[in-house]
Structure 1
Amino acid sequence: MMLQSFATAIFMISAAIQASGVTVPITDALVHGLVTINVGAGNYMLIVDSGSANTWVGAKTPYQPGPNSKDTGETVTVHYGSGNFSGKVFLDNVDLSSELVVSGQSIGVAKTSTGFNDVDGVLGLGPSDLSSGTTSGGGVVPTVTENLFTEGAINSNLVAISLEPSTSTHEGEIIGEISFGEVDSSKYTGDINYTPITLTSPASTFWGLDASFQYGASRANVLSTTAGIIDHTTSLLLLATDAFKDFQKLTGATPDTNTGLLKVPSTETLESLFFQVKEVTYEITANALIWPRALNSIIGGEAAGIYLVVGDHGSPSGSGLDFVIGYSILRRFYTVLDTGNHRIGIATTPHTHDTTN
């Protein structure tokens, strides 16, 4: 429910922000990005998740209701790939920045949660249909982005995410931004190439797209055109099991028992991996395929070890979700999650070819 006073305030400020959009900084948690936002009377550090749609708080810092907080009486439960939470549903004001406020946002307040150590919850930027069936009231929960657009606070029903690779071992550094409602031309190079959301299920439920993967100068086939997703909370690039095995053979990598990642003896023979979306080919450089060596200790690796950020999805190709382009790779690309036009945009950035390893 939208409070009239907030709606009026939002429409008054919208004219001022429409020209440039509003951005929210992303800080680095090494395997995913975080944003700090205000909900009710508290500030919360939330994971930036393009693979889910519910926004919730309370995993670490207890929820602090504000003057406009409303307990709906409903409950909510969401299961993730490596965790879950359950609790109550509130309607509350969400301050994304001093310029950007959404009122009456459906917010989950965790009673219990697993897999969310040292964070307060999740900012869900996935398609809203992912929230279907998560609350006791049923139905779909509009995302923060959708409510901002409905209230007139942003020009377009989209978010654009800009990131850059790690350059140090320090968590908490600003390494990107979320732009609500508009793209930021200073953050990407060349053109943004758009592709419609795939029609193949279950990838079609997420930010899903059709793509193929090839390795090296010979462009050896790794994965023929198939459906997968982009997900800013999955740490690695995950490939269907058969494609993962082909990638392993092509690179000469071996599984490392300490880290669970593939390991190569040197960088001399490691080549780029390419993925093609429609007629556009993107290069994932050899450096981008390597886990940052400065961070080897946090995954239990050897200081000089060369570990790869490509993992096994755990299912054969043809399952309808054959790859996940995760955080490690997305740090080198600009992505536009365009709900209004049901499409995904991808562009290169000044960091696509960084040699950080």
Structure 2
Amino acid sequence: MFSAASLLTIILMALSTTGSPVEVSNSPITLPIARRLSALNGTINLLEQDRARAAALRLKGNTLKHGGHGVPVANVAIGYYIAVGIGSPPTTYDLIVDTGTSNTWIGAKTQYVGTSTSVYTGAPVTVFYGSGSAYFSGIEYLDTVTFGSGLTIPQQSFGVAATTSGTFNGADGILGLGPIDLTAGTLINEPATTIPTVTDNLHSQGTIHREVFSISFEPITVAKEVVNGELTFGGTVRNKHGPITYTPITTTQPSSRYWGIDQSISYGSTTILSSTAGIVDVDTTFILIATDAFNQYQSLTGGTLDPATGLLLISSAQYGALENLNFNIGSETYTLTPNGQIWPRILNTYIGGSSNAIYLVIHDIGTPSGKGFDFVNGYPFAERFYCVFDTSRSRIGFAQTLYTGATTN
């Protein structure tokens, strides 16, 4: 954990950021995010869900590249939720926060309640998830969307599901925070038309000066639903982070279609992944890296594949010898400490593991490097580093937090 002196240093550092500052509204709105475990029975293979998500995102990025329309996917075994009001007066819906997809929709659980501000467009909208076994299909509406008590978006587009298939973990739908181009192809009769996201409309309506949102999490310490994160539109929460350093969105496809960056990764002093493109996606449960990089990581850590969970299992002695995992992004290095590389032991039995075992959260993305989609910096990365998503300047910012070096896992 941080010492009192280092905590003070971080707080003082938070008063400034490196690079050009993000211009935002005078009062950024910060909203709580709750983490919820799936109510599914039996062992849940989160790793396979993450791999399926990565494969679908890679496919969608490539089909967009060639003018087609792919299939986004959401990881809903462990979901991160935000309460969203829709209508006047608003009905509250619990939506999954997803930076890897861009459509917002409701109706998986709580039905849409129309009010005087509802506008029925009649446009059919459909989004498929993964292989197509999960999807929502319905009609586009426009209505007033409310976040918290002080942030409203008049005439926001969203889908109202007539049918859904698959498990959305008790959520009412999804809040899509990915780039707007990912919505292409979801309006059935207008496949070339994109749908403005909530961030797009906050900017176009003048509520925020630039299209910026930021996300922060705290490590999980209890095996139940808990508020452990924040979503901020229009800026950052200054006392949550140190200096922010920005890196441009990668130009390498298909990662460039998402919140994609270039980075290299080293385990200790050994480079396991040379500079390449991938994405930042808080709705991916693990950190996924190219197969060749994962093979090196497994060899260096001495981990063995656990048949019950599919994750790398290490002994206490191997954990004691674990080295830092360094993410080299632009001019900065973001270090995932040994504790940041392991699954929260309080959730071991949830994934079918042994209560006292030590599992690593780094795993194989399923394809070799050189595909233009060679890593996914998932939730374990966002849990340790503050993330700023800046559409207006096509960049992502990262910063240390009070939990970067935490030992809670």
TM > 0.5: yes
Give how far 1:72 is off: 1.3
Corresponding position of 2:85: 38
Residue 145 of structure 1: CA displacement? Answer: 0.7
Of the structure 1 ranges 119-128 and 60-69, higher mean CA displacement relative to structure 2 is found in 60-69
**AA matched with 2:337:** T
2:255–2:261: 8 Å Cα contact kept in structure 1? yes
Q: Pick from 142, 151, 157: which aligns with 2:196?
A: 142
CA contact (8 A) 2:108 2:171 kept: yes
2:270 & 2:130 partners in 1: Cα distance? Answer: 31
Structure 1 residue ranges, 4+ long, deviating more than 3 angstroms after superposition? 80-83
1:64 Cα shift? Answer: 1.7
Q: 1:220 to 1:81 in 2, by over 3 A?
A: farther
Does 1:64 find its partner at 2:113? yes
Q: How does 1:267-278 map to 2 (within 5 A)?
A: 267-278=319-330
RMSD over aligned Cα, in angstroms?
1.4
Structure 1 residues 184 and 315, CA, compared in 2 at 3 Å: closer, same or farther?
same
CA contact (8 A) 1:240 1:323 kept: yes
Secondary structure of 2:136 counterpart: strand
Letter in 2 for 1:89: E
Gaps of 5+ in 1: 1-16
Q: Distance in 1 between matches of 2:124 and 2:365?
A: 31
Q: Equivalent pairs: percent with the same residue?
A: 48
Q: In structure 2, what is the equivalent of residue 7 of structure 1?
A: none
Q: Within 2, Cα distance between the matches of 1:87 and 1:115?
A: 17
1:18 to partner: Cα distance: 3.2
Q: Distance in 1 between matches of 2:287 and 2:360?
A: 9
Number of residues paired by the alignment? 337
Give the aligned partner of residue 318 of structure 1. 370
Paired residue for 1:53? 102
Amino acid at match of 1:321: F
Checking the alignment, whether the CA contact within 8 Å between 2:79 and 2:169 is kept in structure 1 is no
Q: For the Cα contact (< 8 Å) 1:60–1:117, is it kept in 2? A: no
Aligned residue for 2:262? Answer: 210
Distance, in Å, in 1 between the alignment partners of 2:165 and 2:144 is 22
Q: State the TM-score, normalizing by the size of structure 1.
A: 0.91
The whole-number CA distance in structure 1 between the counterparts of 2:232 and 2:363 is 29
**What is the distance in 2 between the residues matched to 1:80 and 1:221?**
34
* 1:192-251 CA-partner distances (Å, limit 9, x unpaired): 1101100000000000000000002xx211110000000011100001111111111111
CA drift of 1:318 comes to 0.6
Alignment partner, residue 209 of structure 2? 155
- What is the aligned counterpart of 1:183 among 207, 227, 236? 236
Distance 1:166 1:39 in 2: 30
Q: 2:35 aligns with which of 24, 28, 37?
A: 28
Aligned residues of 2:83 and 2:92 also touching (Cα < 8 A)? yes
Paired amino acid for 2:238: S
Query: Which TM-score applies when normalising by structure 2?
Result: 0.80
Q: What pairs with 1:1-357 in structure 2 (closer than 5 Å)?
A: 18-29=25-36, 31-40=78-87, 41-81=90-130, 83-110=134-161, 111-136=163-188, 137-138=190-191, 139-171=193-225, 173-189=226-242, 191-216=243-268, 219-266=269-316, 267-357=319-409
Instruction: Write the deviation string for residues 89-143 of structure 1: whole angstroms up to 9, x where unpaired.
Output: 1111110121100011110112213231211111111111111111122311111
Q: Which amino acid aligns with 1:25?
A: P
